[in-house]
């Protein structure tokens, strides 16, 4: 029975998203093995307990009999079976875990640096290409180094069955090989403050190098209209987490019709939203805080063209 459970196919699944990394199958098998082992013993124990409670309940006409207080053979059996099961779980889990943190030696590895901060992800791809999404190529092993700029976050990619904390002041590692092209969600799995639940991103698994290179070119392409550059900045650099574009204030003033607006500041003065103010607020968010909002925004140094793009985008939100 154990052998058949160990070799059981990954549950296609109510619980798990489609498996998209080389290590997924091993993790899913472990999950299935532990889940069904626990289910079996839960049913057995609760079933027997219920049966005995009914069968041996106190009855007026029946005197309690002398019963044995222990049985060495029985106790050895019910200690030995869990011990063996726990050892199998330990050995198999260790094997599966190593697949999540170490790559087979040799071969070309894409090294990606991940930086977490409240409340967004930043992925530095090989060649110095930064993006707020993770881009990888099918079949190419990836080694990720994680860092955090503020508090503990945790990079969680359910489709790859991987999760690793990003801890301030130290570097943590993660390794995987994507096996299925597609786009899969990334979550933060460590509670990190107000916008923890918004700290999401995605991993794009390209079907080949050419597709990946096309994306890189797109990142670099300076022929994109400024307003589109600005929209991309808004969507990808974390602005969207706090600034809406539909007029409703979230954790920060809405961007809708913000250009040229006169904002009241916490110190009682006021300021007109223009290039100088937006630039200053990006570099030093606490300098001129709008009344009624908390200073939660991290400094956001943008490239010059990204900043110009953001101005155009704000102007377009009439």
Chain residues binding ligand CUA by CB under 6 A are 116, 119, 153, 188, 190-192, 196, 199
Tokens representing 303 are 């490239």
In angstroms, give the least distance from the CB of 195 to ligand CUA: 8
Q: Which is nearer to ligand CUA, 5 or 189 (CB)?
A: 189
Q: Which is nearer to ligand CUA, 140 or 196 (CB)?
A: 196
Query: How many H helices and E strands in the chain?
Result: 7, 12
**Rounded to whole angstroms, how far apart are CA atoms 143 and 110?**
6
Largest CA-CA distance found in the chain, in angstroms, rounded: 94
Tokens 């945790």 label which residue?
154
- Residue 291's alpha-carbon distances to 119, 257, 263, 270, 298, in angstroms, are 22, 18, 8, 9, 18
In angstroms, give the least distance from the CB of 57 to ligand CUA: 51
Q: Which of 163, 238, 237, 167 is nearest to 198 (CA)?
A: 238
In angstroms, give the least distance from the CB of 273 to ligand CUA: 29
In angstroms, give the least distance from the CB of 147 to ligand CUA: 13
Q: Which is nearer to ligand CUA, 96 or 146 (CB)?
A: 146
**Rounded to whole angstroms, how far apart are CA atoms 232 and 240?**
10
Q: 13: which strand partners?
A: none
In angstroms, give the least distance from the CB of 199 to ligand CUA: 4
**Rounded to whole angstroms, how far apart are CA atoms 48 and 309?**
69
**Rounded to whole angstroms, how far apart are CA atoms 143 and 140?**
10
In angstroms, give the least distance from the CB of 186 to ligand CUA: 11
Q: Which is nearer to ligand CUA, 30 or 146 (CB)?
A: 146
Q: Which is nearer to ligand CUA, 119 or 255 (CB)?
A: 119
Q: Which is nearer to ligand CUA, 188 or 245 (CB)?
A: 188
Q: Each residue of 212-251: b (16+ CB within 10 Å) or e?
A: beebeeeeeeeebebbebbbbbbebbbbbbbbbbeeeeeb
Q: Which is nearer to ligand CUA, 187 or 255 (CB)?
A: 187
In angstroms, give the least distance from the CB of 238 to ligand CUA: 11
In angstroms, give the least distance from the CB of 310 to ligand CUA: 24
Q: Which is nearer to ligand CUA, 116 or 233 (CB)?
A: 116
257, 260, 263, 269 alpha-carbon torsion, rounded to 10° = 180
């Amino acid at each position: 029975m154990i052998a058949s459970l160990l070799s059981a196919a990954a549950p296609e699944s109510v619980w798990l998203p489609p498996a998209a990394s080389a290590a997924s199958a091993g993790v899913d098998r472990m999950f299935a093995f532990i889940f069904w082992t626990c289910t079996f013993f839960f049913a057995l124990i609760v079933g027997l307990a219920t049966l005995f409670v009914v069968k041996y309940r106190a009855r007026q006409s029946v005197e309690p009999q002398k019963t044995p207080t222990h049985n060495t053979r029985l106790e050895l059996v019910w200690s030995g079976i869990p011990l063996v099961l726990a050892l199998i779980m330990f050995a198999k889990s260790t094997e599966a875990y190593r697949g999540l943190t170490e790559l087979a030696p040799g071969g070309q590895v894409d090294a990606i640096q991940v930086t977490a901060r409240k409340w967004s992800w930043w992925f530095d791809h090989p060649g110095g290409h930064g993006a707020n999404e993770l881009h990888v190529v099918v079949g190419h092993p990836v080694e990720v180094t994680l860092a955090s700029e503020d508090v503990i976050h945790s990079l969680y990619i359910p489709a790859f069955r991987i999760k690793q904390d990003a801890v301030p002041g130290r570097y943590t590692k993660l390794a995987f090989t994507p096996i299925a092209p597609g786009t899969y969600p990334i979550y933060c799995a460590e509670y990190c403050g107000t916008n923890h639940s918004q700290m999401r991103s995605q991993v794009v698994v390209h079907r080949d190098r050419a597709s990946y290179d096309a994306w890189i070119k797109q990142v670099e392409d300076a022929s994109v209209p400024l307003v589109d550059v600005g929209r991309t900045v808004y969507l990808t650099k974390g602005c969207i987490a706090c600034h809406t574009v539909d007029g409703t204030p979230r954790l920060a003033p809405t961007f809708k019709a913000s250009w040229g607006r006169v904002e009241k500041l916490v110190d009682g003065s006021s300021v007109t939203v223009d290039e100088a103010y937006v630039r200053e607020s990006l570099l030093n968010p606490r300098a001129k805080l709008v009344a009624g909002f908390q200073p939660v925004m991290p400094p956001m140094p943008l490239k010059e063209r990204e900043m110009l793009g953001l101005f155009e985008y704000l102007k377009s939100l009439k």
